[in-house]
Structure 1
Amino acid sequence: MTGGIGVPACVQCGTHSNPCRCKFVGPTLGFLAFVVTAIVEWPVGALVYCFRHTKGRRIMAHPAAVVYPCVSNKIPI
């Protein structure tokens, strides 16, 4: 039995940003950027949340609200 780690792949169909109407590279790189950012920002946000609730929530939401859409939308394929 062999085991391995699969490569995360995201596909977004129905988009109008390219002629194929499917995106593969942008969403996949967006997801990887989201994971890297979340590893750093979620613990920091949890610590800040103990003292400043609104600021902590904003820090923890940053990867999903800003990083993923920004990276995903910059790459049209």
Structure 2
Amino acid sequence: TYLKEHRPAMYSLYMLEDRLTEHLNTVDDEAQERMDILVRQMMEKQGVTEELKARDQMVWVGAVNNIRNEAEEIVLKELVYI
């Protein structure tokens, strides 16, 4: 949808060359890998551990949700909205 609405020339080129699915799969793979790395690094940096999960699950869930949201914003800016 982003390509179609904001990069119509690129979208049309990928469609004409029958490469849209390949491009989307590549971006998705890169985004998933980057998300995993960022979440792991951010959890480590913020001290969100299995020990915290065992001690206070609600705090752990909140922290992980915040980290995932922040990581998703970073990934979208780095890989999608370029």
Q: TM-score range with shorter-chain normalisation?
A: 0.3 to 0.5
Structure having greater relative contact order (Cα 8 Å, sep ≥ 6): 1
More helix by share: 2
| Greater Cα radius of gyration, structure 1 or 2 | 2
TM-score, with length taken from structure 1: 0.47
More strand by share: 1
TM-score, with length taken from structure 2: 0.45
